[in-house]
Amino acid sequence: MGYMTRYKIDLQPVSDETLRKIKGEMIHLARIYEDDCGSFVWMNGFYEADADVDENDNSALADIPSPPWQNDEPMKWYSHERGMMRLSEEFPNILFILDGEGEESGDVWRKFFFDGVCHRASTTITFSTFPIPEMLSLPEGRSWAEDVIYGRAKCPENAAQARTMAAWMVKHRLHNDDDLLTVVRSLVDRGHFEIARSTVDAWIDHKEKGLD
């Protein structure tokens, strides 16, 4: 079977005319260097064009989607560096980016190609912190969640913090449906839609389980 990888090709912003030339060159290279560059035409939009479009047909090339281009299904492309370097050599002043995600866990990488040279970027995985310190009571006896509800503080709209705040409000702030309505209205008025949805879901779950 071989090792399968998902690939994505992107590049720096270029003019429409240059983009058409790049698309045409990718089709041309795929035809003459099948081992190195044949995978170009398996990217979205290209596989339909390979058999039908001439690399000099500007009108047809314009119909191929703009980058990023990626393969719909994982594939084998062991010579992707040689293929991308061939493309980069044809456009020496343009930066190309190739992302890969292999079938093994954690096999995620990015490579840059410029003037026929390949540079592999280092990869670092980071996780956001759990917002417990921010939810401790403030000197005035308020909490981070209370401050968000009443517009005294801003909250990043991400799902993890939304669920955390919703759980806090259900436990400490909501005693009945009227309390829920007041809090949700305040959150919606301030644009905190994710937190509002999470609060409603948490309250419904709380009532269904009959929790105190």
**Domain residue spans in the chain?**
5-120, 132-207
Nearest to 154 by CA among 170, 131, 178, 180: 131
Nearest to 5 by CA among 43, 35, 34: 43
Query: Which residues lie across from 118 on neighbouring strands?
Result: 113
pLDDT in tens, 160-210: 667 777 777 777 777 788 877 877 777 777 777 777 788 888 888 777 776
State residue 110's pLDDT score.
92
State residue 182's pLDDT score.
79
The whole-number average pLDDT for the span 4-23 is: 91
State residue 153's pLDDT score.
61
The whole-number average pLDDT for the span 31-56 is: 75
Which pLDDT band, with edges at 50, 70 and 90, does 133 fall under?
very low
3, 76 contact by CB (below 8 A) = yes
- Helices 177-189 + 193-209 axis angle, to 10: 170
55, 62 contact by CB (below 8 A) = no
State residue 22's pLDDT score.
92
Q: Is 50 helix (H, G, I), strand (E, B) or coil?
A: coil
Locate 109 and state its tokens: 């990488």
pLDDT in tens, 93-131: 899 999 999 998 888 999 999 989 999 887 777 766 555
Q: Is the pLDDT of residue 57 over 80?
A: no
Rounded to 10 degrees, the C-alpha dihedral 56/62/67/73 comes to -80
Locate 157 and state its tokens: 């709209």
Burial per residue of 115-149, b for 16 or more beta-carbon CB atoms within 10 angstroms, e otherwise: eeebeeeeeeeeeeeebeebbeeeeeeebbbbbbb
Share of the chain above pLDDT 90, in %: 24
| Cα distance between residue 195 and residue 176, in whole Å | 18
Task: Identify each DSSP E strand in the chain by its residue range.
Answer: 5-11, 69-70, 96-102, 108-114, 117-120
101, 6 contact by CB (below 8 A) = yes
The whole-number average pLDDT for the span 74-85 is: 93
Instruction: List the single range of 20-29, 37-46, 110-119, 183-192 with lowest mean pLDDT.
Output: 183-192
Q: In what order do the strands lie in the sheet with 108-114?
A: 69-70, 5-11, 96-102, 108-114, 117-120
State residue 127's pLDDT score.
64
State residue 63's pLDDT score.
79
